[in-house]
Amino acid sequence: MASLIGRTLSHYRITELLGEGGMGEVYRAEDSSLGREVALKVLPAEVAGDADRLARFQREARAVAALNHPNIVTIHSVEEAEGVHFLTMELVAGKTLDQRIPAGGMPLGEFFAIALPLVEALAAAHARGVVHRDVKAANVMVTGDGRTKILDFGLARMGELDADPSAATQTATQLGAVLGTPAYMAPEQARGLPATALSDVFSTGVLLYEMLTGERPFRRIDGPSTVHAIVHDTPRPLATRRPDVPHDLARIVARCLEKDPAARYASAEELRAALAASRSRHVRSPLDLRSLLARWQVVVPAVAVLAGLAALAVWGGLRSARSERVRTETVPRIEALLEQGRYFEAFTLGREAQRRLPDDPTVRKLIERSSWAAEIETTPAGAEVAFRAYDEPGGPWHSLGRTPIDGARIPAAYVVFRLTREGHEPMLLAGGDPSFAVALVPAGTAPEGMVRVPAGVESSGAAEPVELGAFWIDRYEVTHRDYAAFVAAGGYSDPRYWQEPVVYGDHTLEWEEAMTRFVDATGRPGPAGWELGGYPEGEGDLPVRGVSWFEAAAYARWAGKDLPTVYHWRRAAGMDIFADILGLSNFGGDGPAAPGTYHGVGPWGTYDMAGNVKEWCRNAAGALRYSLGGGWDEAPYLFSDVDARPPLERRANQGFRCVRYDQPPNEELMAPVEGLRYDFAQVEPVDDELYAFFAGLYAYDPSPLDARVELTDDASPHWRRETVSFEPAYEGPRMVAHLFLPANATPPYQAVIYRPSSAANQLPRVEDYVNLPDYVPRSGRALVVPAYWGTFERGVEARSFSASAMRERVTRQVRDLRRTIDYLETRPDIDSGKLAYAGVSAGGEYGPVYLALEDRLQAAVLVVAGFHDAHMLREPPEVNPWNFAPRVSVPTLMINGENDFTLPYETAQKPMFDLLGTDPEHKRLVVIAGGHVTTDRHALIRHALAWFDRYLGPVQPAPTGR
């Protein structure tokens, strides 16, 4: 609406706009009748005619006017003038909390001085049946004299005015939005359910967390992601963000933030009492010193006697009360954390409980359940050892004492150890092994920028385990600045550094001819991404990339080092912390980061071995050279997978790091590692009788879906996103699916059900999966992404590879796909007769299982699919894709990379294609550029859409767009 500044409504002259939001604009105005300044809240003219909005605006006035509390803004009147509806309120001068909260959080005294009046005001409102529904920092004002005022009950409602909860839900649905501010709303509000006083308690918990840390507990990159986090994620414990916050206060805030309303404080009054008790324990009240001095001669003798008796009584009472709280509150919380597999938090809370109840057997057993006994030795002894949570890089360090350590307890979780001893290099170790022995490195003897990896056993791929001696490896990847020193030293003009023959096709190049291939974009010696012999401005600290294997080997030789063998690289990278390291590494990013920016530390103190840039290794694989670790633009599972690339290739995500050996590796370690791929052309699928038994394992009985829409998002111009949930086809948490409904087509939509790669096993949200096929909704078809069991929101902490665990995983995921189709059949905006399947990597590899068991699909596209010997050979036959492939009849397109080292064409891709039971006229295998991750996205899109067009038919475009 047009600005009202300068206008006069009735006897109010409007002078300044103070703020605006969904429920109206707020102005400063002069009341000429009473000679005072007031705040005018005005309903926008364009929505004043909406009966629901107008009624809610008027309800705000009645709700706030019914309250009389010094910490709630006072309302003067409700008026209308010249067609403008407005109310007049007390003008509060000061700063809102979002302007006052410092970056690191408030001091405790200031925190309590604001928080207690705030909660007291909410308690008073709740006692009158008023729910605020929009508690947030911007709605709390602190005046110049320190008074706290709650502003804007614009979303409040009187309990007696909305007796029918369904009416509130219906209204919210009709408006197309959930009322409230996403960052602060309670989970039930995010789901479109009516807000209650307990919703205000949750929002207050968000605000208290923000006041103490300077950060919101569920802050994400955008509104939908924030709402998703509120519904599904647990915020980082306060202790990890601000260790000085008292434990009881941290528990108060955590209880406010419980997802289940019944687990929160039963009322704002109960929360107020808890905060008041915490303040009394941790913030001292000022004393009237002059009064005490005037009476000290009379008071002191009596106090001396009484204080001693009272102190004993109070101490005993406090100890008893604290002990009871440990048993009734802390112990159940520890048990719940153990059930969730959150052992580090359970251990930390158990240690806190043990300080209160040192001899309690229940607490002792809980600590034992959440921890391991550590046995740590160092040479020499006397090193200080501390540990922290692996996934909390900024978390507190916990001391274990000095080595040798025997029996001290550490959490049964992945941790980072820090070892320090005077006269020796500090050492970081990471992993889940509580017992180890290491030799400390004397100060000044370590090669610059390198860490020590002790001797041990390592294997790679299908090769036999090998014994490795101790060696050094670069802590970080080689940077542009490092590499520039090699170029400046004449590295490209000295044949001594270029000892391996450069083979191009069938021709071995002369050294001078080979060097003409190792030039930058301007023809000068240097990596592919450089210009005029130098790296891009501002990128000196980024990892060098765009280098061939030959250039990496030459640099290593110039630096007096070598490229690591695959065995040494994997020993240093540590496959045992695979799942935890991925979340702290640069996968799915926009580009490489400066080494050490990400906190994924390896078992011996290296960084960025997962993600950032791929790293060349010494060993050959036929005409290829190994390239390990994955890059920023690749899927996280490539950290543990093996890959090999043409050695002349100079990709933008290809870099390296170096090693230095105590003793040069023997010929066996330097020899080619072929991978020993299993040839799946020789597999024999089971007969029909046994297959029928296998298929029966995936069956389920029809049952009510109880479906509901959890979230809608219209932020994209290309689609509307809906997150839905429904009951699964087995006992367990509700099934979740994400629908991306096209903006450029007319319903009912054709739909493509997507099965992502195994990267989804490590990602908590679908937003984190960077390779969603957005071309599907942009082509006019609905993209449906179920959160299959063990993926995204339905991730599973403990991942076992036993036969029973594999059987459970695959059978549940197939049922998830079928149950999703059950749901799609209930939606009138989906054409259930035109459904297709699309899977990539794991989704392609297991595609035959889905396709054989679900006959409601009309087409399928399997991207980088084939039989994977790294895990399929260990699986039980009832989940092996080759037993299902002959039973597939749906038209199927396979799109594979021509240089896929993970799924080679002859031994993995073609055997799957040949086994597919689909009529030869309706199946096709297309090989395009790339490896296990295609480098020709346009070709992939072109072939996939052509296949959908052929078997689903053209889409019906929207007449005028959404």
Is residue 177 very low, low, confident or very high in pLDDT (cuts 50, 70, 90)?
Answer: very low
State yes or no: pLDDT of 302 exceeds 60: no
pLDDT in tens, 694-737: 898 899 998 999 999 988 989 899 999 999 999 999 888 889 99
Q: How far apart are CA 829 and CA 782, in angstroms?
A: 10
Considering the candidates 134, 482, 641, 869, report the single residue annotated as catalytic.
134
Phi first, then psi, for residue 494 (nearest 5°) are -115, 110
**Max Cα-Cα span within the chain:** 107
H helices, E strands: number in the chain: 30, 38
Q: How far apart are CA 64 and CA 139, in angstroms?
A: 14
Decide: residue 215, CB within 10 A, 0-12 exposed, 13-18 middle, 19+ buried.
middle
State yes or no: pLDDT of 322 exceeds 70: no
**Stretch 388-417: mean pLDDT:** 90
Is residue 222 very low, low, confident or very high in pLDDT (cuts 50, 70, 90)?
Answer: low
pLDDT in tens, 27-37: 899 988 888 88
Is residue 797 very low, low, confident or very high in pLDDT (cuts 50, 70, 90)?
Answer: very low
State yes or no: pLDDT of 890 exceeds 60: yes
DSSP secondary structure, 718-737, as one string: SEEEEEEEE--SSSSSPEEE
Helical residues (DSSP H) of 842-923, grouped into ranges:
842-845, 847-853, 881-884, 910-915
State yes or no: pLDDT of 572 exceeds 70: yes
State residue 221's pLDDT score: 58
State yes or no: pLDDT of 809 exceeds 80: yes
CB burial string 672-686: b at 16+ within 10 A, e below: ebebebbebeebebb
State residue 171's pLDDT score: 29
State residue 505's pLDDT score: 77
Q: Determine which helix (DSSP H) or strand (DSSP E) holds 279, and give its type and residue range.
A: helix 268-282
> Which stretch, 3-17, 534-548, 576-590, has highest mean pLDDT?
534-548
State residue 4's pLDDT score: 82
> Which stretch, 320-334, 540-554, 704-718, 935-949, has highest mean pLDDT?
540-554
**Stretch 97-105: mean pLDDT:** 86
Which position has the token pair 């090699």?
Answer: 486
Of 816, 758, 745, residue with least CA distance to 785: 816
Phi first, then psi, for residue 729 (nearest 5°) are -95, 25
State residue 414's pLDDT score: 87
State residue 740's pLDDT score: 96
State residue 787's pLDDT score: 93
In terms of pLDDT, which residue wins out, 747 or 195?
747
Residue 288 annotated among the catalytic residues of the structure: no
State yes or no: pLDDT of 288 exceeds 60: no
Of 710, 712, 707, residue with least CA distance to 177: 712
